[in-house]
Chains A and B, each alone.
Chain A
Amino acid sequence: MKKNNLNQETTQELMALNGDEAIAYAVKQCDVDVVAAYPITPQTIIVEKYSEYVANGEVQTEYVCTESEHSAMAACIASSATGARTFTASASAGLALMHEMLFVASGCRTPIVMAVANRALSAPLNINGDQSDSMAQRDAGWIHLYVENAQEAYDTIMQAFRIAEHLDVQLPVIVGLDGFIVSHTLENVDVLSDESVKNFVGERVLPNVLTHEGKTVPFKLDPDNPMTMGPVAMPNYYFEFKRQQEEAMKNALTVIQQVHDEYAKLSGRSYGNALIEEYKLDDAEVATICVGSAAGTVKDVIDELRAEGVKAGLLRLRTFRPFPAQEVQKALENVKAVAVMDKSMSFGGNGGAVFHEVRHAMYDSKSHPFVVDYIYGLGGRDTSPKDFKKVYSDLHLIAHNKRMDKLVNYVGLRE
């Protein structure tokens, strides 16, 4: 959503960019030291574009073309541990191959930023968009931000570095964009000047740690101040480090909002309160919850329904990890029936990943709205405005009959 509070001193340029290109452009402006990545559809444009910047000397970045995503993430962790601002991008099978290292990255507290051009997982092999890949990594200790369009992809990358590197956070961040729908679709994107971005992102600041030499020094591999990173922790200490990560996640809820608000002042663009974005939710009786690009379609559907007198609304979940449970609960307080749109499956789990979180968050709400799950768009299956209208009409019935027949529903699936 655009707001017209643009800082007069901030000049912006309009560029035609797809989501991947918008990300590459943002990374270029963030003075990233190291990019270590492996190509995979639909992320490839990001790494190709960035390679061009490197080849043309437009960036001071070491670009490491690793032989696998597993090594890409290992190299990113090591690079970040050496003090370098580090970026990578992946999707689908590539992200799955990184799985082991994602936990290492968060456990080592390396503030890497990774764009994930969300894509389905094999088998059967499918290169199209859904969110199975990153949702499967939801417990790996990374912050998850999901964008709706190319503009937001651009805006979120610089916020991601600020969030990841914040001293109260020090966690890696995934910026998820829907494969093809956002990654490959050309849009008008307003970009800030290099100077504004540079000032906004700033230099990487390192937290202090106590080393075996008894010194309190910046957290990095430095021969002047040697430290041991990534050690073994037995049952007597492991738990404490995991608790620290959880605290950092909690801190991130605040930091994500602060950074977003600061960026909004600079750019004139904001996305709800950074955690969630509400659309006509104030007086809504029925609402859907979306993650990513589907929100765009749903907003149009809502406008049509509103014209017909239906009190429909939308909650777009921009931040999935840490999960903004309180904000979600509050936003849905007065809604009678809620449909959670899940673009991934949690097989045997009675609903998708987002559904689990939302239903869990609503357990403590006073109003107790009906919360129903809709799995949609798997493997790139198109979901049309008509499909969403059907969801709202289902919700209307649920609200009216005060009865929910099925907990989990499938959109556009042939029986």
Chain B
Amino acid sequence: MEEQKVTTQEWKFTAKDIALKPEGFLPGHRACAGCGPANVLRMVMKATRGPTIVTEATGCMEVVSSIYPYTSWSYPWLHTAFETAAANASGIEAALKVLTKKGKVKQEHIDIIAFAGDGGTYDIGLQALSGAVERGHDFLFILYDNEGYMNTGIQRSGGTPLGAATTTTPAGSVMPGKMQNKKPITDIMVAHDLEYVATATPYYWKDMLQKVRKGLEVEGPAFLHIFAPCPRGWRSEPAKTMEYTKLAVESCVFPVYEVVKGKYELSTPSKLIQLAPQKKIPITEYLKGQGRYRHLFTPQHQHVVDTLQRLTDERWAKLQKKVEQTA
């Protein structure tokens, strides 16, 4: 691996530069066709700035990339369990710190990235994540959010949105899919007073990679929430994976922003919508075509769409207010 310790300012993010960066997440992995998280991981690994150790929670991406005797990781990589990505990062960081002091690590600095899906972040991994960031370990936690337990067969998680049908919140004759709204995980992480928290989607790849780089540059814990559609779980067209990550931003279902030392700032794609609110698309533009929301387009469940629109607008307004308040 080439040694390169440069800052964001020095790193030129042209598409062709990125295209040429060596792959950290290699072809031959067994993710489904059109997998959002697979693209996210592949792209994220192109934003590394030098020696890096990766640790990952149990989940889709862990499984598809490490089926023995094959590995899709060209970086050192460790998996232990579902809820342990952040705890693993703590252990790696502690070990590197002391081994460096004792002269047993050659590299000047080694970055640590912990990947987890929404299950490993919102739910079972939240305690370990909260603990690790409270302790201040220097690592970047990346949540690839496909809004459900897709690896085990599309069950609901704390990251599944209101109204989405999953195998544990099926759309029935009485219940319109999941009855609760998505947990505001990013706010929870901001509340930990992290130096760097951000959201991103792979459609805006440049924005996403810059955020990865910033997260790595922070000394201490950083959190990056990346929206990553699952065509299998969302019952959506594999070809439209990237399109949904654009529509999610345009509908303000998933605004992209950064919180640097508590200061909120909208990233360009969301900023443009703030500046030109007429560009904000109705939520139905985002929902339609996703099989998990199909049942909502019936007279019986129309009210859920209305509620989702209201909740989305409220969260968007709240976010803009935070930007204003922390300016």
Q: How many residues from A make CB contacts under 8 Å with B?
A: 46
- Contact pick for A74, options B75, B91, B99, CB 8 Å: B91
- Contact pick for A223, options B1, B95, B135, CB 8 Å: B1
Give min CB distance, B236 to chain A, whole Å: 26
A71→B84 contact, CB < 8 A? yes
A237 to B70, CA, bound (A): 12
Binds A, one of B123-131, B163-171, B254-262: B123-131
Q: If the complex has contacts A36-B91, A36-B94, are A78 and B68 also in contact, measured as CB distance less than 8 A?
A: no
A231 partner residues in chain B, CB cutoff 8 A: 66-68, 71, 79
B63→A232 contact, CB < 8 A? yes
What sequence of 0s and 1s flags, for each residue 73-102 of chain A, a beta carbon within 8 Å of any chain B beta carbon?
011111111111010000000000000110
B68→A234 contact, CB < 8 A? yes
B102 at the interface (CB under 8 A from A): yes
Interface set, chain A 239-269, CB cutoff 8 A to B: none
B76→A83 contact, CB < 8 A? no
A66 to B62, CA, bound (A): 24
Interface set, chain B 88-121, CB cutoff 8 A to A: 88-92, 94-99, 101-102, 104, 106-107, 110
Interface size class of B (residues with CB under 8 A): 35 or more
B135 partner residues in chain A, CB cutoff 8 A: 64-66
A36 to B86, CA, bound (A): 13
B316 partner residues in chain A, CB cutoff 8 A: none
A67 at the interface (CB under 8 A from B): yes
Binds A, one of B35-43, B48-56, B177-185: B48-56
A72 to B88, CA, bound (A): 9
A78 partner residues in chain B, CB cutoff 8 A: 55, 78, 80, 87-92, 95
A223→B66 contact, CB < 8 A? no
* Most chain B beta-carbon neighbours within 10 Å: one of A34, A65, A101: A34
B90→A66 contact, CB < 8 A? yes
Q: What residue of chain B has the Cβ atom nearest to residue A227's Cβ?
A: B76
- Contact pick for A232, options B66, B104, B130, CB 8 Å: B66
A73 to B67, CA, bound (A): 24
A413 at the interface (CB under 8 A from B): no
B95→A71 contact, CB < 8 A? no
A33→B95 contact, CB < 8 A? yes
- Contact pick for B91, options A60, A79, A233, CB 8 Å: A79
A77 to B91, CA, bound (A): 7
A34→B83 contact, CB < 8 A? no
A70 at the interface (CB under 8 A from B): yes
Q: What residue of chain A has the Cβ atom nearest to residue B51's Cβ?
A: A223
B307 at the interface (CB under 8 A from A): no
A310 at the interface (CB under 8 A from B): no
B69 at the interface (CB under 8 A from A): yes
Interface CB pairs A-B, < 8 A, 15 = A33-B98, A33-B99, A34-B94, A36-B90, A62-B97, A75-B91, A79-B92, A79-B94, A82-B91, A82-B96, A212-B70, A222-B76, A228-B77, A230-B79, A233-B68
Binding site for A on B (CB under 8 A): 1, 51-53, 55, 62-63, 66-71, 73-81, 83-84, 86-92, 94-99, 101-102, 104, 106-107, 110, 127-128, 130-132, 134-135
User: Beyond the given A66-B135, A221-B92, A231-B79, could you list 5 further A-B residue pairs with CB under 8 A, ordered by the A residue number?
Assistant: A71-B131, A74-B84, A225-B76, A226-B1, A231-B68
